[in-house]
Amino acid sequence: MRRELEMASYSHWCGACRTTSERVRTHAEALEAQAGHRVGAHGGRIPVGERIDLHRTEGWGDADPTERWITVILAAVALLVFAYNVL
């Protein structure tokens, strides 16, 4: 679970101006971006439809199926080479 959190990123989306903030590492940073946007772009008022988006990146679950197979095959080859040299 900790690993998943490290691989996640967050962004703030504003429904009023339809813009997305830069991605940040934590939900708290995204809330800061949201607060900054409210003040900077909307005079401190809360825009309609704003939200914090969670992006999961680089996780095994999001990996391309081909990349997954390449990883499995490389691991198998490495294991075979190891076994051949040792046994």
Binding site for Zn ion (CB under 5 A): 14, 16-17, 41, 47
| C-beta closer to Zn ion: residue 17 or 76 | 17
User: Shortest gap between Cβ of 9 and Zn ion (angstroms)?
Assistant: 20
| C-beta closer to Zn ion: residue 41 or 52 | 41
Residues 6+ apart with CB under 8 A from 20: 11, 12, 13, 14, 53
User: Residue 7 class from Cβ within 10 Å (0-12 exposed, 13-18 middle, 19+ buried)?
Assistant: middle
Residue at shortest CB range from Zn ion: 14
Query: Largest Cα–Cα distance in the chain?
Result: 72
User: Shortest gap between Cβ of 47 and Zn ion (angstroms)?
Assistant: 5
User: Shortest gap between Cβ of 80 and Zn ion (angstroms)?
Assistant: 56
